[in-house]
A and B are shown apart, each in its own frame.
Chain A
Amino acid sequence: MSSASFNYVRATELTDALSQGKRPGAAYLAGGTDLLQLWKASLTAPQDVIDISRLPLADITRAGDRLVIGAMARLSDVAAHPEVKAGHPLICDAILASASGQVRNLATAGGNLLQRTRCPYFSDAGLACNKRDPGSGCGARDGENRHAVLFGGSSGCVATHASDLAVALAALDAEIAISSASGERQLALSDLYPLPGETTAPDSSLRPGEMITAIRIVGAERFAPHSTYLKIRDRASFEFAVVSVAAALRIEDGVIAEARLAAGGVASLPWRLGRSEAALIGRAPTEQAFAAAGELAIEGARPLEGNAFKIPLLRNAVIRALQTAGDQS
């Protein structure tokens, strides 16, 4: 348990929150499920905690083919929302595979995207970790690395991203709305997560003081009839992914017209499987087509000593997710 104290500030307006949040040592608190764990473990010690949970940014709205999820919407409310359930079941699947009911009632959509890695070297302040302490090295690379990345790792970091929601959103080409005291900007979700460097490995490309205010998904309802989120984990529930796959297909006249595939648990960001997607286009949703997509998914995988088992696991998870998505109607 951390003994470090902090000042608590409740923000009631966005402009107020953003001006408080730009101060050095400030941290935003939304659901608090990640921040409080990190604080209790002495992995973070903010001077000022800016409570943004009551900002009016929790609405979930659909206008035309655009779904907007307010960043402060609680995960359970997103998963239970009629528009999300009907038009974006992939998002519901991913959320309901995350955490527990008690945590989903607290955790927010925006906060979920910014949760820190669960790499055990990050979580133990006595071990080397460039994510926690830039320049200290990466203990996982030549240590216990069963959990580590297959793609995009560097000599400085092999930690995976922990969010299920991000994997589903990556498959649906979501965009993130970001605000700061100096203005607003938008980012493709895939650009929110940088690849690690040699001595630094930031979790996100957000700048100090910036806040995610909304998640936007455009034109994704066409995938609703054929989408699924498959999460492989060490126990059946309330556990992070070893490997996960978000699969979304659009099938027209018995032929795959569009395919979206993203994998979790294999990189520092949701890993889009572009070659697998391309190979599925124009083919019938058959076992042969899915098997070929599975083989392409693992091309370029770079295993470490302890995580080579993830390669066949990823291939098979892609195949099974495609079978499930292809069978729906």
Chain B
Amino acid sequence: MPSRLALTCHNRSLTFQCCGDEHQMTQSQDAKFPKQRIALSITVNGTRHELEAAPTATLLDVIRDELKLTGTKKGCDMGGCGACTVLVAGRRIASCLALAASFGDADITTIEGIGTADRLHPLQDAFIRHDALQCGYCTPGQILSAIAVLAEGARSIEEIREGMSGNLCRCGAHANIVAAIAEVAGL
């Protein structure tokens, strides 16, 4: 069974690796549009942030690189893996496919906003007990998605499996992920 500490270590390691060159390209400014900055007034985990972003920045870019909330992960950056899942007004979205400018007044929940090391969210607790992760990179997105799947009314194993199909785990922990969610759902 991975400990809570192991989960944290995995996350830190991968967070470090993830801040690579790719994002620098997003930030580069085309000479044709050197000036435009978009004013944002977003609320993340209950805290309001006034900031500016490039017109091309995704919500994921802003959460990770401006607000430094690196629990939300960049996986495929194409909406296919679910690692970037956050809640906007309680609804799950792929934050890599959301232009920050479009969500400039959004109320956002990330993994940092759902529990603490001392008071885990029930899904975080269940994921640990069910060994529902190995490297942990997809786990924040899995848990945010699972919160939404339960809120959307999934009440069977099949509905959980279908509801979680937008979250991929390359370590292959899907069976235990479903078991953890099912336990919290009371199944």
Q: Is B148 an interface residue (CB 8 A)?
A: yes
If A29-B102, A102-B82, A106-B97 touch, whether A5 touches B33 (CB-CB below 8 Å) is yes
User: Do the beta carbons of B99 and A36 come within 8 Å of each other?
Assistant: yes
Q: Is A125 an interface residue (CB 8 A)?
A: no
If A51-B102, A238-B166 touch, whether A102 touches B36 (CB-CB below 8 Å) is no
User: Do the beta carbons of A100 and B28 come within 8 Å of each other?
Assistant: no
If A51-B102, A102-B82 touch, whether A5 touches B55 (CB-CB below 8 Å) is yes
Q: Is B91 an interface residue (CB 8 A)?
A: yes
Closest chain B residue to A237 by CB distance? B165
Hey, what's the 0/1 contact readout for B166-180 against A, CB within 8 Å counting as 1? 110000000000000
Q: Which residues of B contact A105 (CB under 8 A)?
A: 88, 91-93
Hey, what's the 0/1 contact readout for A70-107 against B, CB within 8 Å counting as 1? 00000010000000000000000000000111110110
User: Do the beta carbons of B22 and A10 come within 8 Å of each other?
Assistant: no
Residue among A4, A5, A33 making CB contact with B79, cutoff 8 Å: A33
Residue among B55, B82, B97 making CB contact with A6, cutoff 8 Å: B55
User: Do the beta carbons of B99 and A102 come within 8 Å of each other?
Assistant: no
Residue among A5, A33, A100 making CB contact with B29, cutoff 8 Å: A5
Q: Is A288 an interface residue (CB 8 A)?
A: no
Q: Measured between C-beta atoms, what is the minimum distance from B128 to chain A in Å?
A: 24
If A6-B55, A8-B36, A8-B38 touch, whether A103 touches B99 (CB-CB below 8 Å) is no
User: Do the beta carbons of A32 and B97 come within 8 Å of each other?
Assistant: yes
Closest chain B residue to A37 by CB distance? B78
Closest chain A residue to B161 by CB distance? A237
Q: Is B152 an interface residue (CB 8 A)?
A: yes
User: Do the beta carbons of A102 and B78 come within 8 Å of each other?
Assistant: no
Q: Which residues of A contact B93 (CB under 8 A)?
A: 102, 105-106
Q: Measured between C-beta atoms, what is the minimum distance from B162 to chain A in Å?
A: 6
Residue among A41, A101, A106 making CB contact with B163, cutoff 8 Å: A101
Residue among B85, B101, B165 making CB contact with A8, cutoff 8 Å: B101
Q: Which residues of B contact A76 (CB under 8 A)?
A: 91
Give CA–CA (A237, B93) in the complex, Å. 17
Q: Which residues of A contact B41 (CB under 8 A)?
A: none
Q: 13 A-B residue contacts at CB 8 Å? A: A1-B25, A1-B26, A3-B30, A5-B32, A5-B56, A6-B33, A8-B99, A49-B99, A51-B101, A76-B91, A100-B79, A237-B165, A238-B80
Those 4 A-B pairs whose CB atoms lie nearest each other, nearest first: A100-B166, A237-B165, A8-B55, A5-B30
Using a CB–CB distance below 8 Å, which chain B residues touch chain A? 22, 25-26, 28-30, 32-33, 36, 38, 54-56, 58, 77-80, 82, 85, 88, 91-94, 96-99, 101-102, 145, 148-149, 152, 161-163, 165-167
